[in-house]
Amino acid sequence: MSPCFALVAGEASGDILGAGLIKALKKDYPAARFVGIGGPLMIAEGFETLYPMERLSVMGLFEVLGRLRELLNIRKQLFKTLLDIKPDVFIGIDAPDFNLALERKFKDAGIKAVHYVSPSVWAWREKRVFKIKKSVDLVLCLFPFEVAFYQRHDVAAVCVGHTLADAIDLQTDTQRARQQLNLAPDRPLMAILPGSREGEVARLGDVFIDTAKRIREHMPNIQFVIPAANEERKQQLLSLLQHKDLPGVTLLNGQSRTAMAAADTILLASGTATLEAMLLKKPMVVAYKLSRLTAFFLFRMLKQPFVSLPNLLAGKELVPELLQDDATPKKLAAACLTLLQSEDALQGMRGEFLALHKGIRLNADAAAAHAISELINAS
């Protein structure tokens, strides 16, 4: 009898992972059934979604509270429906606030439960690991240091790598990227990424532009490229640039990966973009600013000395991190100029990035499918 896989993805990134996982599982189980909640990419692979994925895509505390009754009802009805179907395994993809409770219910009902993409328990709110231990049979981690954390707490976990590491080549063609963006091939180039959210750009946009002005004082021929995440961020950045004397900036619609590939070095907000920059082998300076109240509580809960993924993966400071009051134009410009003016520093960082890339380039879709197959076959 063909197995049944139940999956729940709550946002676009989960839909990407779910689609890749389904495609990989179908190689071993071509007649399997895939059912739960997913998006268009999963549906294109033959997935049956019982609710629109968009109903789970809620961000922000007040937005969640406003939809809490609906979300709880979806979870209750979904569990009932899937329990009647009796899947061989339930796989929650990210969305821990929604999925962990479901995983616990399925595990208690004797159905194998898997959580794909570890919550950041290794960074803050470490006690959540005890809830995860009670809720799942297996955690599929993107990074090796996450597995080490779970092993210390006796939770079954395996590193499957990151799909970005599979998608991005080990070598980056910088000149090709510059040609695609119509940028000068023989002048130094810095990419500036102040974030994709309105608040991030509000806190870092001015700081990054003032940093660029300081850098230009030392390197008059440098080029700057700023990819805007969407039209709203583009208008926000245009408004900031209008009040600054910084000519010669190329403002892009999207194309952040191409912009980073074209650059000699990158100034960016902490987040997933730091992983992408690392995979492109681009030296970087990382900054972040939060509201003072949020920072006061968050930094007291952090269990790690770093916030950027390259440093977390390396277990040491590979890239400069300038956070909160340290994220000033003067300090950021000095850190960027150190990289831009030192070829030895650039080459050393690129070599470390290549080793880290290889460490998480594990064919994530196939690795996740294999781990899940082993779990259900061991039943």
Q: What is the pLDDT of residue 122?
A: 54
Judge contact between 116 and 17, C-beta under 8 A: yes
Question: Would 167 be classed as within a structural domain?
Answer: no
- Give backbone dihedrals phi and psi of 69, rounded to 5 degrees, phi first: -60, -45
pLDDT of residue 65: 54
What are the CA-CA distances from residue 269 to residues 120, 174, 287 (Å)?
18, 22, 5
Region 228-247: mean pLDDT is 86
User: Do residues 183 and 156 both lie within one domain?
Assistant: no
pLDDT at 230: 85
Report whether pLDDT(265) > 70: yes
CATH number (domain holding residue 288):
3.40.50.2000
Torsion angle (degrees, nearest 10) of CA 58, 286, 311, 91: 10
Q: Are residues 212 and 89 in the same domain?
A: no
Number of domains comprising the chain: 2
**372 in the same domain as 306:** no
Structure tokens at 86: 């009796």
Selected residue with higher pLDDT from 62 and 356: 356
Is pLDDT at 60 greater than 90 in this prediction? no
Q: Tell me the pLDDT tens digit for each residue of 276-327.
A: 999 999 999 999 876 555 544 455 555 566 778 899 899 898 899 998 788 8
Residues 240 and 272 occupy one common structural domain: yes
Q: What b-and-e string marks burial along 244-267, b requiring 16 or more CB atoms within 10 Å of the CB?
A: eeeeeebeeeebbbbbbbbbbbbb
- In terms of domains, do 109 and 215 share one? no
Of residues 288 and 334, more confidence is placed in 334
Pair 72, 129 in one domain? yes
Domain that holds residue 75: 4-161+362-377
Are residues 217 and 333 located together in one domain of the fold?
yes
Q: Are 176 and 167 spatial neighbours (Cβ–Cβ below 8 Å)?
A: no
Is residue 169 a part of any domain in this protein?
A: no
DSSP 325: G
C-beta neighbour count of 309 within 10 angstroms:
26
- Asked if 150 and 275 sit in the same domain, the reply is no
At a CB cut-off of 8 Å and minimum separation 6, what does 346 contact? 264, 265, 283, 339
Residues sharing a CB contact under 8 Å with residue 182, sequence separation 6 or more, in sequence order: none
| pLDDT reading at 197 higher than 90 | no
Helix locations, 109-218, DSSP H: 128-135, 144-152, 163-167, 174-181, 198-218
CB atoms within 10 A of CB 51: 16
Question: How many other C-beta atoms can be found within 10 angstroms of the C-beta atom of residue 152?
Answer: 10
Q: Based on the domain organization, do 148 and 194 belong to the same domain?
A: no
Measured at the CA of 377, the angle between CA 20 and CA 132, to 5 degrees, comes to: 70
Q: Is residue 127 a part of any domain in this protein?
A: yes
- Pairwise CA distance, residues 31 & 12, whole Å: 26
Question: pTM to 2 decimals?
Answer: 0.84
Residue 127's pLDDT is 74
- pLDDT tops 80 at residue 187: yes
Rounded to 10°, the helix 198-218/231-242 angle is 40
Angstrom distance (rounded) from CA 150 to CA 159? 11
What pLDDT, in 10s, does the model give residues 61-92? Answer: 445 555 667 778 888 999 999 999 999 999 99
Q: Does residue 188 share a domain with residue 142?
A: no
For the stretch 203-215, pLDDT in tens is: 888 899 999 999 9
Cα–Cα distance between 197 and 204 in angstroms, integer?
Answer: 11
C-alpha span between 231 and 175 (Å, rounded): 27
Domain assignment of residue 266, yes or no? yes
Statement to judge: residues 246 and 290 lie in one domain: yes
